[in-house]
Homo-oligomer: A and B are copies of this chain.
Amino acid sequence: MTAPGPVRIDVMDSSSTRRRATRAKLYEAAVTLIAEQGFSATTVDEIAERAGVAKGTVYYNFKSKTELFEELLRFGVGLLTASLQEAADHAAERGGTKVEALDEMIRAGLVFINRYPAFTQLYVAELWRTNRAWQSTLMVVRQQVVAVVETVLRDGVEAGELSEEIDIPLTAAALVGMVLVAALDWQAFQRERSLDDVHGALSLLLHGRVSGRRD
């Protein structure tokens, strides 16, 4: 029965399973509370209580309330960009056009917001504030999102599929904004609509079929 070999390396792994689980619970608790109330109005006691954890645990796992928030931002935006990138790659694999890729990304964005509405809310609410502690984190994180869209636009222009007239950074920002706001509005004020309804409306705008032509 050859002993399993004594030396257990993972002892030093600072991200033990237990710790990871605790952090995840804290993210989960913080994201909803901050989305609803804003950062300043949300207390660390509330976060701890909602996570089912003592206040001290928050400070054992994070340096401060602000740091918890910043890591939450990085974590969430990581999920979003991965999802957008995957959609773009997927469309590319299938040999679709860049407009099709954008369309897929819009859908991926909507799916994400539908699954994590609180995170999106919080992101939009904080993004354009100035002079806040986490400003630089936000800028980095915003750039990650926009860059994914910009790349697709750039490829589309190079391939001659998109108009050379378009201003890539501005168009990317506008597209992201369109999806964010339409989705938040859907979640907040038009819950009865299906994801396909929303996707359809945005797709129409993207394809420029708002004006003109009826079939």
Contact = CB atoms under 8 A, between A and B. Distances in A.
B190 A169 contact: yes
Interface string A126-147: 1111111000000100100000
A56 to B, nearest CB: 24
A205 B174 contact: yes
A207 B211 contact: yes
Contacts of A187: 128
A173 interface: yes
A91 B86 CA distance: 43
A210 B204 contact: no
A62 interface: no
Nearest to A213: B163
A184 interface: yes
Contact of A38 (B38, B178, B184): B38
Say whether chain A's binding surface is mostly helix, strand, loop, or mixed: helix
Nearest to A156: B211
A12 B37 CA distance: 37
A162 interface: yes
Contact of A171 (B129, B161, B166, B204): B204
Given A128-B184, A186-B170, A193-B170, A163 B214 contact: yes
Interface of A: 35-41, 99, 121, 124-132, 139, 142, 160-167, 169-171, 173-178, 180-182, 184-190, 193, 197-198, 200-202, 204-214
